[in-house]
Amino acid sequence: MTTYEHPTTISIPDATYTDETFDAFEMDFAQGEQADKPMTEEARLWWFNGLPTDTDTMAIGWHIKAGVNPCLDEILQAMGVTQYLVQHKRPDKDGKTEPKPYWRLREASLIVVTQRLQSPLEMNRNLQDRVGLVYAWEPVCDEHGRPAFTKRGKPKRQTTLKMRVFIHDLVLHGYSEWFPVTLSGYSTDPVFDALAEQYRVLECYSAYRRAQGKNAVAPFYLFSLPTAPGAMKMVGDPPDQGSIYPIVAQVPEVVEKAYLKQHLIPTHLIERIREHVLDEAIVWSIEESIRIDQGRAGQEERQVALHGPGEDAAAGARALETDPLVQQAQVTWIVRQYCKEDPQTISKVCAHFGVSSPEQLRMSHFRLLVSQAQTPQNNGYHTGH
């Protein structure tokens, strides 16, 4: 029988702390070494239409939930933004009903990430035609999460609008991350009127630049758009009537140079939006609109894209009737993001889909390229981007 001896161990003196040595501990660390708490929730920008709070003030307008991002909380506190508890009408995703802490912005100058403003008319015609804003019809559920129905027994559906926005004041204070915004039902219509006011600003800027003999092109995101709650209005029909505070733009009747200087966004943010934020928003707006619509539209087009050209001419012809050509936003993404502006890669993509230029690609081709870009190991023609 073999006998094993335990190895010899050593003890390090003063490796444990007494009360005296703990109190005497002194070691400085750099700010970057601070162990920040994990963020388990996304910082969002919320619009409230008159929710009760723990103060005499109703929650109306723009709000940001407190306790989500410590850096954001610190900036908002330093800016002197008020915080209070807001009581929601419905339980949260965890089933909790207690009031939640929010920062009360009420008004905000938004930098809306989109190539341009599309009207509901445009977006209702084609679910896949999106250039930064998400817009779709989604089913309405009751307080228990069950599908709601109209008086005629049909499933209720409501419009949903989603945006990615920066808040100008926060950017000026060092917080340069975009916020997701979701609006639904009667709150969506006023937003289009508010966003349309941006064109008066862009036209004034273009005129000013032309008078100087300079480039007069003005992207939609070039200026922040000041927004605030409008007068309360009643919406819906009895007995389901309710009230909202519509989002309105605070653009002066006459847009002067002082306004342009105040709302022109920083150059570092312009460069960042041009580099990737806008392209990402365009792809997201298409995919999210389809997801909200529960994939009911575009199934036939996706089948054609997955099988490639030349599978079934008759089916392809039928699909192309509802499969429009890509717009400039999609062309830009394909050339810049997918092909990295490499002429050889652009030629390969066009050849794969049987077209002579990116402008001749279809929306189904664009969606397939987006899918392939996200999973490059699963395709046969992506060239390692």
Distance CA 218, CA 198 (A): 11
The pLDDT assigned to 366 comes to 84
Does residue 78 form part of some domain?
Answer: no
Does residue 132 form part of some domain?
Answer: yes
Residues 206 and 238 in one domain: yes
Q: Please say whether the beta carbons of 123 and 292 come within 8 A.
A: no
Ramachandran quadrant class, 87 (left: phi over 0; alpha: psi -120 to 50; beta: rest) = beta
Chosen domain end from 290, 316, 344: 290
Residues 280 and 339 in one domain: no
The pLDDT assigned to 384 comes to 41
For residue 127, what are its two tokens? 């679910």
Query: What is the DSSP code (8-state) at residue 369?
Result: H
Does residue 335 form part of some domain?
Answer: yes
Residues 302 and 272 in one domain: no
Alpha carbon 149 to chain centroid distance? Answer: 29
Residues 215 and 259 in one domain: yes
183, β-bridge pairs: 161
DSSP for 13-47, please give it. Answer: TT-S--HHHHHT------GGG--PPPP-S---EEE
Residues 166 and 240 in one domain: yes
Residues 121 and 137 in one domain: yes
Residues 306 and 240 in one domain: no
Distance CA 55, CA 82 (A): 11
Does residue 59 form part of some domain?
Answer: no
Residues 224 and 350 in one domain: no
The pLDDT assigned to 235 comes to 87
Residues 250 and 309 in one domain: no
The pLDDT assigned to 255 comes to 96
Chosen domain end from 245, 264, 290: 290
Q: Which helix (H) or strand (E) holds 91?
A: none
Chosen domain end from 290, 306, 334: 290
Does residue 210 form part of some domain?
Answer: yes
For residue 121, what are its two tokens? 């008319």
Tokens 């204070």 appear where?
173
Distance CA 110, CA 249 (A): 10
Query: What is the DSSP code (8-state) at residue 139?
Result: E
Query: What is the DSSP code (8-state) at residue 275?
Result: I
Does residue 244 form part of some domain?
Answer: yes
The pLDDT assigned to 297 comes to 36
The pLDDT assigned to 80 comes to 96
The angle subtended at Cα 183 by Cα 180 and Cα 186, nearest 5°, is: 170
Total of domains in the chain: 2
Which residue range forms the structural domain that includes residue 323? 298-378
In one letter, which amino acid is 87? Q
Ramachandran quadrant class, 295 (left: phi over 0; alpha: psi -120 to 50; beta: rest) = left
Q: Where are the alpha helices (DSSP H) in the chain?
A: 19-23, 70-78, 120-125, 168-172, 188-196, 198-211, 257-263, 267-272, 278-292, 299-307, 313-320, 328-333, 343-353, 363-374
Does residue 212 form part of some domain?
Answer: yes
Does residue 32 form part of some domain?
Answer: no
- 3-state secondary structure string across 283-327: HHHHHHHHHHCCCCCCHHHHHHHHHCCCCCHHHHHHHHCCCCECC
Strands 59-65, 82-86: pairing kind: unpaired
Residues 270 and 307 in one domain: no
Q: What is the mean pLDDT of each run of 10 residues along the chain (385 residues)?
A: 66 77 88 77 94 95 95 95 93 82 97 95 87 90 71 81 97 96 93 97 97 95 97 83 92 96 97 93 91 55 35 41 74 85 89 87 82 53 45
Residues 282 and 343 in one domain: no
Residues 333 and 184 in one domain: no
Measured over the CA atoms of residue 177, residue 77, residue 248 and residue 242, the dihedral's sign is: positive
